[in-house]
Amino acid sequence: MRKIRVLIAKPGLDGHDRGAKVIAQALRDAGMEVIYTGIRQTPEQIAKAAVEEDVDVVGLSCLSGAHNELFPRVVECLKEMGGGDIPVIGGGIIPHEDRAYLKEKGIKAIFGPGSLTADVVKVIQELVWKEG
């Protein structure tokens, strides 16, 4: 069985990436291949990298409060670039009242502070194996 490929990205101007790096390491420890794009990426850059790298899942992290604009835009860009079948998950400081909106816009799972890395791994595996 091939490794699950995950792209972890920090859209927008948010410069805090410790959480994204923790998730990236946890995914690697779980046997996944992780591409980390770094901070301050545009939705277009993220989608382009996801399609070029042929990833199975995109994981977004946002602490700046711009998740309602940035996360759906990544989903739109993926569709525009031929990667509309790539599931997108998100994490960060995301108020509960924003979660339904994000799910309506195509975000498959949302993780907040205190989420267990094992839960993130499980959701990614379920998304990939269900889709595959």
Cα torsion at 5, 63, 90, 7 (round to 10°)? -10
In one-letter notation, the amino acid at residue 74 is V
Give the model's pLDDT for residue 131. 57
Can you tell me the distance from the alpha carbon of 71 to that of 121, in angstroms, rounded to the nearest whole number? 20
* Burial (CB count <10 Å: 0-12, 13-18, 19+), residue 67: buried
- Whether 45 contacts 37, CB under 8 Å: yes
Fold of 5-125: Rossmann fold (3.40.50)
Predicted confidence (pLDDT) per residue in 45-89, tens digit:
999 999 999 999 999 999 989 999 999 999 999 999 999 999 999
pLDDT band (50, 70, 90) for residue 17:
confident
pLDDT band (50, 70, 90) for residue 7:
very high
